[in-house]
Structure 1
Amino acid sequence: MNKRKNKGYKDSGKKRFDKKNGKQNTKPGKQAGGNPKGKQKNVTAKVTCSGLSKEGKGIIQWEGKQLEVPHLMPGETAEVLVSKKGRYVNAELKRVIKPSEDRVTPPCQYYFQCGGCQLQHMNEQAQTRFKQETVKALMKPFGKPEPILTMDHPYDYRNKSHTTFGMNQHRQVIGGLYAQHTHQIIPMERCLIHDPKADEIVETIKDILKHSKMQPYNEDTGQGFLRHVLVKVGKVSGEIMVVLVVASPVFKGKNNFVKALRKAHPEITTLLMNVNNRGTSMVLGDQEKVLFGKGTITDTLCGLEFEISAKSFYQINPAQTEKLYGKAIEMAELTGKETVVDAYSGIGTISLIASRKAGKVIGVELNKDAVRDAIRNSKRNGVKNARFYQGDAGEFMVQMAARGEKADVVIMDPPRSGSDEAFLSSIVKLEPKRVVYVSCNPETQARDMKYLTANGYKVEGIQPVDMFPQTHHVESVAKLVRKEEAGNR
């Protein structure tokens, strides 16, 4: 990571993106929300940052209130612009007076506009420390976490990129990401956490559009054709999928477009058209057509090959996923005899990895398309001891317990919202010897572990993993053991 200190650092925090001229407006008093008719009060204050919020924002005190300021670091003295309107108080960074030794110049030129990354102004050590302390504070009731597993090269890691297309005020084609909390497109050529090849392909698509009659979609008028471009890259296989998300199934000039894109990028192995004519924030629609190739790509994870479709979930950072899943399998303590239930099994990644060391694996997933993918991936890898079922994992385990069936290990990998009490109580009913909890949100993980530890389980290991460098997100995997088992160990 860039370790240069920024001596004369100035930043207005969340800079507003002006819709008329496409430029940042950084003048004090002209922030998002403005000061219409004198109703909003803007005050410049000198403050000292006392710590960080869970989202990596600096914490300050102002007139008896605790406020959060993006891009401010602990110990720093700074000028902030405080905007007060009624009960709403917002603080934005204007100027760092005394910078932290851990501050660096963000290497991304779009950092202060985009909001997709939140920690690029911190050096590697500060990012690691922040994430370690976040997990440590949340897991305090259960034990001390192991040192976080970091990434050697914390850039270029995303195997999936999503670009939104539109026109600027000069009627020129632009493509990029939405500014934080808006639908205003920030024109971008390169995102430093995307796979570089994906950004190269998007730049070519922009160029093709500029020389064709194809128009980007305008969400205000409902006119235009191309809405988004989704690129998925097989980090090991090198296979590349490009998905054109369009507003209409009528693709004029399709053959010329496909020919031009393939000529510029012969490494593209499949090209799809996804039709989304709905006025929602959902990126993909239901209708899909393959324009070239087989419609899927494959990639290798933990020595197994997985087929990836446009809609299938596959971990964004495969290199760190191998560390995460490797730790989860280690915590499961498999000897080749155990029955394992993989709840929230998705396309079968954890199930199939566990199958190599377990006696039998049962994957349960609510999404029927994911179950279909899991079965296909099982056959692709010649796995004979894994079975996949479509349904609610909690209900499935309750039914297992009612039939007198046992599971030695339950591996759970829920969404960010965590699990609910109905699911957690089903684990308690099934009474597995060990529970391995893989989480993309340690806050909800801690909440769920509180229930499990109050109902017969003891935490024996916590491992944080940095899956998303440059962002405030951190993953954690924990091992819980039934107290009777723990007593016999």
Structure 2
Amino acid sequence: MYAKNDLVELSIIDITDEGNGVGKIDGFAVFVPGTAVDDRLRVKLVKIQKNFAYGIVEEILSPSPDRIPVDCRVYRQCGGCSLRHISYQAELQIKQNWVEQHLKRIGGIDAPVLPIIGSPRQDGYRNKAQYPVRMEDGELRLGMFGKRSHRVIPCTDCRLQPSEFESILKTIRDFCLEWKISIYNEEKYSGLLRHVYLRSAQATGEIMVCLVINGVSLPHSGELVDRLRTVCPSVASIVLNRNREKTNVILGQHCQTLWGKDTIADILCGVRVNLSPLSFYQVNREGAEQLYRVAEEFAGLTGRELLLDLYCGAGTIGLSMAHRVRELIGVEIIPQAVENARRNAQENGITNARFLCDDAKGAAASLQREGLTPDVVVLDPPRKGCVPEVLEAVSGMNPDRIVMVSCNSATLARDLAALRTLGYHTVKAQPVDMFPRTTHVECVALMTR
């Protein structure tokens, strides 16, 4: 019925979890980015499939009441803030719906989904940013990869990042141009500077500058150190990360401190946390404190429990609960993260915690050898969720309660369904928005035996 480049009129009735609006013409679904529920639009069809199509907005005939002015000059090219064009209240309702629908449709979970908790801040909340550095069209670009591409969109003033990052990025750009630092070419695997990686510790104000290089040293690095210290006195650590692999993975495994400390320190839920370039840490500190409070509440701790924290990273979740348990055991497969976790426990005077460098199956075997059974297991897996072996290992340890923290409610729903077959019932779920203006949302779920 329809062909590419046809113009159609439609109303947006829903938003997908990729941030695209959904409209229908004669029962035929059309997905349109940058739209809001109740928009009335004239849309150009740009890709036709058997049962659906993709379109772009040609004209807004009648705007949704949820629409707000877009305050970012690279919003459409970047694609990171897929929901920046709608009000935050509307965004929260959309994310609430996503979690509810994922749990119901993917997992067959009928447990109550509590009202979403919004982020304390919608701008400037990210404490970490990774900027690709490329030469494109004869221009040195630092910024973000465009949506579904590896073309760099120049942007040093992203509204999601701390304002201090802008002056640091401009200083690095000027340094590279002045000293003719070679820039990485990902097609030829040549050139030196690959990424600029910045971390900020909100509680202490410390900033880490990490330059990812395809080599062993950075020419004139002393000059760059002096400039960064002058332009941003909050910089407490300047690090080189060596990544000579032919890969899209941003960081290599070897770090060299050029100046300052090897780590910066932040405070999360009263726990002082040391952060290296390789440490996992929630990007929204204030949002993370809300998230961890929910996880602690769901864990139902009385002070008598053995708590097992799987995927513990630098130990932040478990250490925030250590004062409420008999013993904390954290498990992480990345050795440097385990060392960070041990150091964090020591520096905070937490004596009832220990950390194992192992996977879930190995940790289960270790506990079994010691004759230990966890009362509560906290799971905070990566976006792809848990592999079946992890869920089987957890259920095999027979904890009373499992608390799962997930940044992907679709894989969360899948994992909850798998745990149901292993004898665990989902009691409730709590969405927590950690990533305002984007299509990501965190969720905490409680399961009991």
Q: Smaller-chain TM-score range?
A: over 0.9
Match of 1:423 in 2: 390
In 1, are the aligned partners of 2:356 and 2:363 still within 8 Å (CA)?
no
Match of 2:111 in 1: 143
Within the candidate set 133, 141, 145, 2:97 is matched to 133
Q: Deviations over 1:42-71 (max 9, x none)?
A: 322222222111222111235754232111
Report the Cα offset of residue 347 of structure 1. 1.1
CA distance in 1, matches of 2:368, 2:69: 56
1:96 aligns with 2:60: yes
CA distance in 2, matches of 1:285, 1:425: 32
Report the Cα offset of residue 252 of structure 1. 2.1
CA distance in 1, matches of 2:419, 2:189: 49
Within the candidate set 337, 350, 360, 2:327 is matched to 360
Q: Deviations over 1:323-345 (max 9, x none)?
A: 00111111111111111111111
Q: Deviations over 1:338-358 (max 9, x none)?
A: 111111111111121121100
CA distance in 1, matches of 2:180, 2:416: 56
Report the Cα offset of residue 401 of structure 1. 4.9
Structure 1 residues 460 and 45, CA, compared in 2 at 3 Å: closer, same or farther?
same
CA distance in 1, matches of 2:197, 2:122: 22
CA distance in 2, matches of 1:158, 1:62: 39
Match of 2:125 in 1: 157
Structure 2 spans left out of the alignment, 5+ residues: none
In 2, are the aligned partners of 1:339 and 1:409 still within 8 Å (CA)?
yes
CA distance in 2, matches of 1:315, 1:380: 20
Report the Cα offset of residue 166 of structure 1. 2.5
Match of 1:266 in 2: 233
In 1, are the aligned partners of 2:102 and 2:410 still within 8 Å (CA)?
yes
The one-letter amino acid paired with 2:43 is V
In 1, are the aligned partners of 2:167 and 2:232 still within 8 Å (CA)?
no
CA distance in 2, matches of 1:221, 1:235: 38
1:406 aligns with 2:369: no
Report the Cα offset of residue 414 of structure 1. 1.0
1:452 aligns with 2:419: yes
Q: Which moved more, 1:351-360 or 1:423-432?
A: 423-432
1:52 aligns with 2:20: no
1:374 aligns with 2:341: yes
Q: Deviations over 1:104-158 (max 9, x none)?
A: 1111111111011110011011101101111122334332211111123211000
1:241 aligns with 2:204: no
TM-score (norm 2): 0.93
In 1, are the aligned partners of 2:112 and 2:427 still within 8 Å (CA)?
no
Q: Which moved more, 1:140-149 or 1:181-190?
A: 140-149
Report the Cα offset of residue 438 of structure 1. 0.9
Structure 1 residues 84 and 68, CA, compared in 2 at 3 Å: closer, same or farther?
closer
In 2, are the aligned partners of 1:198 and 1:232 still within 8 Å (CA)?
no
Structure 1 residues 422 and 282, CA, compared in 2 at 3 Å: closer, same or farther?
closer
The one-letter amino acid paired with 2:388 is E
Q: Which moved more, 1:471-480 or 1:253-262?
A: 253-262
- The structure, 1 or 2, with the larger RCO (C-alpha pairs under 8 Å, 6+ apart) is 2
Structure 1 residues 478 and 42, CA, compared in 2 at 3 Å: closer, same or farther?
same
In 2, are the aligned partners of 1:395 and 1:423 still within 8 Å (CA)?
no
Q: Which moved more, 1:363-372 or 1:469-478?
A: 363-372
1:437 aligns with 2:404: yes
The one-letter amino acid paired with 2:85 is H
Within the candidate set 129, 135, 148, 1:167 is matched to 135
Alignment: residue pair count: 442
The one-letter amino acid paired with 2:303 is G
CA distance in 2, matches of 1:332, 1:86: 46
Q: Which moved more, 1:415-424 or 1:340-349?
A: 415-424
CA distance in 2, matches of 1:120, 1:212: 38
Structure 1 residues 86 and 464, CA, compared in 2 at 3 Å: closer, same or farther?
closer
Structure 1 residues 399 and 175, CA, compared in 2 at 3 Å: closer, same or farther?
closer
CA distance in 1, matches of 2:212, 2:362: 36
Q: Which moved more, 1:132-141 or 1:391-400?
A: 391-400
Aligned residue for 1:405, secondary structure, equals coil
Superposed, which structure 2 residues align to 1:34-113 within 5 Å? 41-62=4-25, 65-84=28-47, 89-113=53-77
Report the Cα offset of residue 399 of structure 1. 5.5
In 1, are the aligned partners of 2:31 and 2:53 still within 8 Å (CA)?
no
Q: Which moved more, 1:424-433 or 1:390-399?
A: 390-399
TM-score (norm 1): 0.85
Structure 1 residues 75 and 376, CA, compared in 2 at 3 Å: closer, same or farther?
same
Aligned residue for 1:331, secondary structure, equals helix
Identity of aligned residues (%): 36
In 2, are the aligned partners of 1:166 and 1:185 still within 8 Å (CA)?
yes
CA distance in 1, matches of 2:425, 2:218: 58
1:197 aligns with 2:164: yes
CA distance in 1, matches of 2:281, 2:307: 21
Report which of the two structures shows the higher radius of gyration computed on alpha carbons: 1
1:385 aligns with 2:352: yes
Report the Cα offset of residue 415 of structure 1. 1.1
Q: Deviations over 1:139-181 (max 9, x none)?
A: 3433221111112321100000111222343x34321111111
CA RMSD of aligned residues (A): 2.1
In 2, are the aligned partners of 1:394 and 1:424 still within 8 Å (CA)?
no
Within the candidate set 215, 228, 242, 2:195 is matched to 228
In 2, are the aligned partners of 1:398 and 1:430 still within 8 Å (CA)?
no
Report the Cα offset of residue 435 of structure 1. 1.0
Report the Cα offset of residue 285 of structure 1. 2.2
Within the candidate set 282, 289, 292, 2:259 is matched to 292
